[in-house]
A and B are shown apart, each in its own frame.
Chain A
C-alpha cells in the first residue's frame, strides 16, 4: 500500500512536465506573433527560397522576388500591367538597327551613397556574361553584342539580332537588376552578407536585416526615384516557411499579413471560405502541357505504321477529348485555369485558338476527326508523366486525363510515371510518345512561350519543324510595330495549334492571401509581386 505522501510525490513527478508546458503556454499569449511586428510594417510569408541575392548567381522565383524589391531595373512594369517602360531610365528606345539606347535619370544613387551611373549598368551586364554561373540568368543576355557608355547617363546596347523586341522585356527580367560596381565582384558571385553590409541597393527598398531563407527586413529606400514610386508602407518583413500548411495557418491566424507563394489548392479553397482573410487572384505565368513526339507517337515518323495525316488526327482528337475545365476544377480547385493558347492569358498575343479549333472535352469532334482520317479506334497511347517535379497533384491530373481519354472509347491509355532525373533524360531520347511538361517563363513576353518550343531544334527535341513557323517567329522578334507584332504572334499560334506540337492544358493562377486589413496586393502578368503597394489598416 502506498502512503498518501508517496502518492503525492508520484503525482508531483507526473505534474511537473505538464505544469511546465502549461506555464509556458500561458505565457504564449503575450509573446506570440502578431501581424505587424514592428510598428505598421507588414509581414509577408512565403515558401519560396533565395539562392543568391546576386543577380548573376540565381534564376529562381524566390531570389527574384527579393531582387524586385531592392534592385532597380532599366525597364520595369507598373503594378497591374506586364508592359515595360523606363524604371530608373529617362528613356529607352531603338536608335538604330540593333542599337538600343537607354538614358538614365540624373542624380541616381545607391542606398550607400554611391552614384549609380552608366558604368554600373554596363558592369551589371558584363559581369553576368563573364561569370556565366550555372544558376544564373546570363543566357537571357545572349542578344547583347557589346555595351557602350558615351557618358554617365547614356548606355548603348549593340544587339546581335537587329531590333529584338524581346530585349526590353529581358531588361526587366532576372537578368536585368542593376548592381553597384563598388560592392559587387566583376568575376565572381558576391556573397549575400557583403551585398547587405554594402547597402548596394537602389530599388524601392533596402535590406536592414538579413537571415538567409529565414527572415529579411526591408525598409523604404529614400534614394529610389524610379517607376514604382515610394513604398506606401513603413517597411516589410519577409518570413520564409518550409511547409505550406504552416504558412496557411499563420495567415489564417493573423500571425502574418500576407501569404504569397505557394499554398496548396486545398488550402486556398479552404481560405476562400474564411472571413478572416482575403484571397487575391491574378494571372500566372506557369503552364502545364503535353508534348507529342512526332517520331514515336501513334502513326509517328519512325513507327511501322507511319502516316503524318493519321498522326495529326490522333493529336487533334486528343486535344478535343481532354476536358481542361474538369482537370482545373477537380484536381486543382481552380487554382489553375484552362489554357487554350500557347501564350497564356495576361500577356499580349494570348488567344483561345485551341478552344475554337477543338473545343474542350468534345468527344464527338474527336470521333469525327479520327473517322475522317481513317484511324481505327481505340488508339493505343503510351502517356508518361512525372510525379515529383510538377507538384503532388500530377498523379491525379494524369489519372483524370487517362480517364477522360479511356472514357471516350477512342483511346486506350497506358499511363506510366518516371522519377524526374531519369524522366528528363528519357524524354529527349524518344522514349516517350506523349509526355507531361511544365514551363515557368524567363520574362513576361509572348516570345518566351514560342521560340524555345517551336523553332526547329527546340529544347523539346520532339522532331517538330515548320519552316513557316520558324520564319514568323524570327519576324515577330524584330517587328517594331506593336499591333503588327501581336498579329504575328496570333498567326504563329494558329499555325502551331493546327500542327499541335504540344497541347497546352492549364495555366497557373497567382494567388495571394491577405489579412482583412491589408490592401494593395497586385498580381499581374509581370509575375512580380511588389511590396511597395501594400498597406495595412
Chain B
C-alpha cells in the first residue's frame, strides 16, 4: 500500500525526497514488483488447500450413485487420494511452466476459460468503473461544495447506501424497477438473442461485446449491447461510486480549506472554478490509490453481478466451478484474478509515486 506523508510536511522534506528519487524510486519499484509474487503464491496456495478441504469433484457428483468401493476406485484413478503435498508440488510445478491444466468437469483448457470469460469480466469492470467515475466524482464535488447542508447530507447517505448495499441486492432492485416494473431495460444477459447470434457469426470475436457489435456495423447491435450493460454496470459501479463520492468529498473539503485556495478566493476566483480547478485535482490523487483496492472489490462484486444478470464472465464461471468442486478451474481463475489485482496495485503504486512526490520510497 502506498504511504503518503502528512499534508503539511515541510518543503524541505519533499525536496530531500525528490533528491533521493533517482535510486530510491527504482528500488521502490523493484520491491513493489517483487511483492507481486509472494502475494500470488500465498493466494493460490490458500485456494489449493481450501478447495481440497471441501471434498473432491467425484464424490460431489457421484456420491449418491456409487458404492464406497466404486467411488474410491474413481478417486484413486484421478489421483485425488495421493498425499496432499505431492498434489501441491505438482500443481506448483505446472503453474511455473504455465500449465494451468484442463477443467475436471468439462475438460476445457483453463487458459481457454480465462480468455473466453475474462473478456466479459473486463468489459463489465470497465463499464462499472465508468459509472463509478461519472457518479462518484461529480457527486463528491457537489457534496463538498454544499458541505453540511441538506444536499451534502443526502449525498452522504446515498454514498453509504451505495457501498453498504450488497451488490446482488442492488442488482435485484434495479432489475425489479427498470426491467420488470418499467420494462425499460432488459432483464439479463449481455445482448439479446438476435444480437448474440449476430456476434457469433463474426470471425475471431474479441469477446468484448461492444467492440464486436461495432465490428458488425449494426447500430441496433451496438445499442442492444449498451442497453444490456446499463443495469449490471450500475449495480457494480455504484458500489465503487459510493467510495469515490466519500473520498472526493473529504479531499475536496480538505483542499478547499488550504491557504492557496483562500488566496485564490480572495483574488475573486469564482467558487465553481475553485472547486473544479484548484481543489479537485489534488483531491483526485488518493482516488488513484483507491482504484487498486477497488479492482479487487469489483472482481469480488463481479461474481454476484454476473450471476444476477446472466453476464457470463469469470465471476459467473467461478461460482459454477466452485459448486462442482472443480479444483483445476477454480485454481486457474483465482490465480488470474490474483495476478490482475496484484498487477493493478503495482501499477497504481507506480502512478501514485510518479504523480505524488510525497510518496515514500
List the interface of chain A (C-beta within 8 A of B): 2-3, 5-6, 9-10, 13-14, 16-17, 20-21, 24-28, 30-34, 37-38, 43, 49-52, 57, 134-135, 189, 209-215, 217, 237, 239, 241-243, 246, 249-250, 253, 255-256, 389, 419-425, 427-429, 437-439, 452, 457-459, 461
Q: Is there contact, CB below 8 Å, between A14 and B142?
A: yes
Residues in A whose Cβ lies below 8 Å from that of B270? 3, 6
A21 to B131, CA, bound (A): 10
A209 in contact with B197 given A249-B180, A424-B59 (CB within 8 Å)? yes
Contact between chains at A389 and B59 (CB < 8 Å)? no
CA A438 – CA B65 in complex, angstroms? 9
Against A, the Cβ 8 Å flags (1 = close, 0 = not) of B288-319 are 00000000000000000011111010001000
Q: What residues of B have a CB within 8 angstroms of the CB of A135 in the complex?
A: 61, 105, 107
Q: How far is the CA of A385 from the CA of B104 in the complex (A)?
A: 27
Flag if A439 contacts B67 (CB, 8 Å): no
* Chain A min CB distance to B158 (Å): 11
Given that A16-B134, A52-B107 are known contacts, is A28 also in contact with B142, CB under 8 Å in the complex? no
Residue ID in chain A nearest B67 by CB atoms: A459
A243 proximity list for chain B (CB < 8 A): 188, 307-308, 310
B223 and A33 contact, CB distance less than 8 A: no
Jot down 23 A-B pairs with beta carbons below 8 A, ordered by A. A10-B141, A25-B178, A30-B220, A33-B193, A37-B193, A38-B197, A49-B320, A51-B105, A52-B106, A135-B61, A135-B105, A209-B197, A209-B201, A211-B200, A214-B312, A217-B197, A242-B320, A243-B310, A389-B63, A389-B64, A421-B55, A423-B63, A424-B71
Is residue B261 within 8 Å, beta carbon to beta carbon, of the partner chain?
Answer: no
Which residues on A sit within 8 Å (CB–CB) of B32? none
Cβ of B306: which chain A residues have Cβ within 8 Å of it?
242
Please tell me if B262 contacts chain A, counting CB pairs below 8 Å: no
Contacts of B196 in A (CB 8 A): 211, 214-215
Please indicate the chain B residues that have their CB under 8 angstroms from the CB of A239 in the complex. 193
Among A21, A237, A461, residue most surrounded by chain B Cβ atoms (within 10 Å): A21
**Assuming the A-B contacts A14-B139, A37-B194, A242-B307, are A250 and B105 also in contact, with contact meaning beta carbons closer than 8 angstroms in the complex?**
no
Contacts of B234 in A (CB 8 A): 21
Chain A residues contacting B188 (CB-CB under 8 Å) are 241, 243, 246, 249-250
Which residues of the partner chain A approach B220 to less than 8 Å between Cβ atoms?
A: 30-31
Verify B227–A209 contact, CB threshold 8 A: no
Q: Which of B77, B106, B227 contacts A32 (CB 8 A)?
A: B227
B58 sits at the interface (CB 8 A): yes
Please tell me if the beta carbons of B227 and A31 are within 8 angstroms of each other in the complex.
Answer: yes
Query: Beyond the given A28-B186, A189-B107, could you list 7 further A-B residue pairs with CB under 8 A, ordered by the A residue number?
Result: A6-B270, A27-B227, A28-B184, A215-B197, A389-B64, A419-B54, A421-B55
For A17, A49, A256, A429, which residue has the most chain B Cβ atoms within 10 angstroms? Answer: A17
Q: Cβ of A37: which chain B residues have Cβ within 8 Å of it?
A: 192-194, 197
Q: Is the CB of B107 within 8 A of A6?
A: no
- Check if A17 sits within 8 Å of B186, measured CB to CB: no
- Complex formed: what's the CA distance from A446 to B320 in Å? 33
**Which of A34, A37, A52, A389 has most B Cβ within 10 Å?**
A37
Query: A202 CA to B203 CA in the complex, in Å?
Result: 27
Contact B224 A31 (CB under 8 A): yes
Query: A398 → chain B, closest Cβ, in Å?
Result: 16
Could you tell me the distance between the alpha carbons of A214 and B116 in the complex, rounded to whole angstroms?
12
Bound-state CA distance A429–B320 (Å) is 29
Q: Which A residues touch B175, using CB under 8 A?
A: 249
B89 to chain A, nearest CB (A): 24
A420–B63 CB distance below 8 A: yes
**List of A residues within 8 angstroms of B192 by Cβ:** 31-34, 37, 255
User: Once the chains are docked, how many angstroms separate the CA of A134 from the CA of B131?
Assistant: 45
B327 within 8 A of A: no
With a CB–CB cut-off of 8 A, which chain B residues contact A134? 58, 74, 77-78
Whether B215 is near chain A, meaning CB under 8 Å from some CB there, is: no
> How far apart sit A425 and B75, CA to CA, in the bound complex (Å)?
12
Rounded to whole angstroms, the CA-CA distance of A21 and B228 in the bound complex is: 11
Interface of B is mostly: helix
B42-71: contact bitstring with A at CB < 8 Å (1 yes, 0 no)?
A: 000000000000111011110111111011
> With A32-B224, A243-B308 in contact, is A424–B179 under 8 Å at CB?
no
In Å, the complex CA distance between A457 and B78 comes to: 24
Give the distance to chain A from B263, nearest Cβ to Cβ, in Å.
Answer: 20
B271 touches A6 (CB 8 A): yes
Q: Are B227 and A253 in contact (CB under 8 A)?
A: no
Any A CB within 8 A of the CB of B325: yes
**Residues 159-204 of B contacting A (Cβ, < 8 Å):** 175, 178-180, 183-189, 192-197, 200-201
Residue from the list B107, B194, B221, B316 in contact with A242, Cβ < 8 A: B316
- B359 touches A (CB below 8 Å): no
Chain B nearest CB, measured from A190 CB (Å): 10
Given known pairs A243-B308, A459-B66, the reply for A420 and B55 (CB within 8 Å) is yes
Q: Does B310 contact A242, Cβ atoms closer than 8 Å?
A: yes
Q: How far is the CB of B333 from chain A (nearest CB, A)?
A: 15
Q: Which residue of A lies closest to B54 (CB)?
A: A421
Q: Which of B70, B185, B187, B309 contacts A25 (CB 8 A)?
A: B185
Chain A residues with Cβ below 8 Å from B131 are 17
Q: State A423–B59 Cα separation when bound (angstroms).
A: 10
Question: In this assembly, does B226 line the interface, its C-beta being within 8 Å of a C-beta of chain A?
Answer: yes
Listed from nearest, the 10 A-B pairs whose CB atoms lie closest are A424-B63, A421-B55, A31-B224, A6-B272, A13-B138, A246-B188, A33-B192, A37-B194, A25-B184, A37-B193
Q: Please measure, in the bound complex, the distance between the C-alpha atom of A428 and the C-alpha atom of B64, giving whole angstroms.
A: 10
Assess the B197–A253 pair: CB atoms within 8 A.
no
| Bound complex: CA A315 to CA B196 (Å) | 55
With a cutoff of 8 Å between Cβ atoms, the chain B residues found around residue A419 in the complex are 54-55
Are A25 and B67 interface neighbours, CB within 8 A?
A: no
Inter-chain contacts of B106 with A (CB < 8 A): 50-52
User: Is B178 a contact partner of A13 (Cβ separation < 8 A)?
Assistant: no
Question: Once the chains bind, are B197 and A437 in contact (CB under 8 Å)?
Answer: no
Q: In the complex where A6-B270, A242-B316 touch, is A24 in contact with B64 (Cβ < 8 A)?
A: no
Q: Which residues of A contact B309 (CB under 8 A)?
A: 246
Query: A17 near B67 (CB under 8 angstroms)?
Result: no
Is the CB–CB distance between A25 and B227 below 8 Å? yes
The reply to whether B200 and A209 form a contact with Cβ atoms under 8 Å apart is: yes
B230 touches A (CB below 8 Å): yes
| Bound form: Cα–Cα A419–B63 in Å | 12
- Asked whether, in the complex, the Cβ of A459 is within 8 Å of the Cβ of B70, the reply is yes
Query: Beyond A33-B186, A243-B188, is A215–B307 a contact (Cβ under 8 Å)?
Result: no
Q: Which residue in A21, A246, A421 is a CB contact (below 8 Å) of B59?
A: A421
List the A side residues contacting B114 at CB < 8 Å.
none
CA distance A30 to B223 in the complex (A): 9
- Note all chain A residues with C-beta closer than 8 A to B325: 421
Q: A31-B192, A389-B64 are in contact. Are A14 and B55 (CB under 8 A)?
A: no
Residues from chain B with Cβ under 8 Å of A423 in the complex: 63
Q: Is the CB of A420 within 8 A of B193?
A: no
| Contact in complex: B272, A9 (CB < 8 Å) | yes
Q: Are A215 and B67 neighbours in the complex by a CB distance under 8 Å?
A: no
CA–CA, A10 and B141, complex, Å: 9
Complex interface: chain A residues within 8 A of B194 (CB): 33-34, 37-38
Docked-complex contact B230 and A24, CB < 8 angstroms: yes
CA distance A215 to B196 in the complex (A): 8
Q: Cα distance A52–B116 when bound, in Å?
A: 17
Given contact pairs A27-B227, A52-B106, A461 touches B68 in the complex (Cβ within 8 A): yes
A9 to B61, CA, bound (A): 59
- Does B135 lie at the interface of the complex (its beta carbon under 8 Å from any beta carbon of A)? yes
Query: Do residues A215 and B223 form an inter-chain contact, with CB atoms below 8 A?
Result: no
Whether B65 and A43, one on each chain, are in contact in the complex, defined by CB atoms closer than 8 angstroms, is no
Asked if B145 CB lies within 8 Å of chain A CBs, one says yes
Whether the pair A21, B230 counts as a contact (CB closer than 8 A) is yes
Contacts of A20 in B (CB 8 A): 134
How far, in whole Å, are A223 and B309 apart by their CA atoms in the complex? 39
B161 to chain A, nearest CB (A): 16
- B97: min CB distance to chain A, Å: 22
